[in-house]
Structure 1
């Protein structure tokens, strides 16, 4: 249940602010009191000013209001991606069923349903929809975006495999350019890494090895900038796979040796994920 006023009151007290100190220059003390008692909803800019004074971001505030739990969408998205990355077919089937129950709830959930169906098809599992069904919905959506927002980059990342190569490269280039405005965004995270990895995979499937290697190297560079070791190793595995296909020398520090050592010290699940993802 949304209880923003009560949540603000709890944070205010934990920070040692009196009502008068918190609301000074923002709103009247009586309005703050009414807000904390769920009797008044201040304008959005006033809420942001209160949170800034409390040194709490809006995302963190909403997270606290939910009882330190992720949103339902974020919960199922994380479960789906984890099952897909680790090739856990039973878990993937189960989470896809759960997501399907909420597909009518919002556009976000419907597109998450489409993504779950796509993941089932990519793993040779029974699905309700076909790739054509998914493509017919998502392709026009992604081509018609004029002003890219953060959610749109995630959309492209999730569904880039639906496009022809020239289309995928066009959308990738546009997204990377547009993403410049989000470089300082706290949720920047893995978008550029995964976009590059997914486009590299698409090119690799079409045996365009030189171009594929270019995008895997980009993914590796982005991963290193973000200190994402898993994605950096994944990029290296794809690069080594290309080198082997081109019958060139192996990398200076062969990854198989490193992965064997990682298994030895207890990272079996990570190694399994890396190897199955690059098969």
Structure 2
């Protein structure tokens, strides 16, 4: 059980809480002492009760137990997404190769391997798998879901482009409805934003800009609700891109003025990344 007992002890002592105070009504003091010395494994509900008394979430506890490091999966997932977002093909190839070394470790890691392969294909880089290989594995996984968990929303968001447009719209509607039960979940929950952005891009790829605007506006709404400025700007840029195709603009729009101001404030790399991302879609 890792060093969970020792981590509990470390947090308890940092809060100045005695063993007697922490364990009252949860377990005996002797069992808490044995747990802190890795000699006893309490039931999960008792551990949760201890954490609640310490005002520590399970996610934070796991993070502390890993010495304030992300899990290996989260580390590589973030590294992959960062390489994609900044269009760094060299970093993308390196990260995909690293992920491949762990693909047999778990189902979660194998799906991360599939995602890395999808990223390589979309960037026109050499890959071990084809789009068909990825689709044959992931499509049934997502279509057969009955009870959606947080991880499943991320899975759909990552692989939504492998579906036909009508399938993607169907899964989007279902996911947004199911995701409502996670609105108060403390874990990062940008899923509704990214799903809306991705569906909008699918509609653009299928030459349906008017419908795409609907989903980009949804993404902007979700981003504003969650104070996610970067995603709000991405949504606005997509909308502006579509509008500018349909009419001549002789004056600078407010979004262009904002971009110029961000550059003046020292955010040129962010602005370049935003514009590059939009122009490639």
TM-score, normalised relative to structure 2: 0.96
Q: Which residue is 2:229 aligned to? A: 229
Q: Which residue is 1:272 aligned to? A: 272
Q: Which residue is 2:82 aligned to? A: 82
Q: Structure 2: where are the runs of 5+ without partners?
A: none
Q: Which residue is 1:165 aligned to? A: 165
Q: What is the CA-CA distance between 1:189 and the residue it aligns to?
A: 2.2
Helix, strand or coil at the partner of 1:16: coil
Helix, strand or coil at the partner of 2:6: helix
Q: Structure 1: where are the runs of 5+ without partners?
A: none
Q: What is the CA-CA distance between 1:262 and the residue it aligns to?
A: 1.7
Q: State the number of aligned residues.
A: 279
Q: What is the CA-CA distance between 1:124 and the residue it aligns to?
A: 1.1
- Cα distance in 1 between the residues matched to 2:250 and 2:226: 26
Q: What is the CA-CA distance between 1:269 and the residue it aligns to?
A: 1.5
Say whether the 8 Å CA contact 1:6–1:38 is kept in structure 2: yes
Say whether the 8 Å CA contact 2:183–2:189 is kept in structure 1: no
Say whether the 8 Å CA contact 1:7–1:64 is kept in structure 2: yes
What is the aligned-residue RMSD (CA, Å)? 1.4
- Cα distance in 1 between the residues matched to 2:20 and 2:256: 62
Q: Which residue is 1:107 aligned to? A: 107
Q: Which residue is 1:195 aligned to? A: 195
Q: Which residue is 1:156 aligned to? A: 156
| Structure 1 segments (4+ residues) deviating >6 Å | none
Q: What is the CA-CA distance between 1:250 and the residue it aligns to?
A: 8.3
- Cα distance in 1 between the residues matched to 2:118 and 2:250: 34
Say whether the 8 Å CA contact 2:7–2:65 is kept in structure 1: yes
Helix, strand or coil at the partner of 1:278: helix
- The alpha-carbon distance between structure 1 residues 253 and 59, as it changes in their structure 2 partners (threshold 3 A), is same
Q: Which residue is 1:65 aligned to? A: 65
Q: Which residue is 2:20 aligned to? A: 20
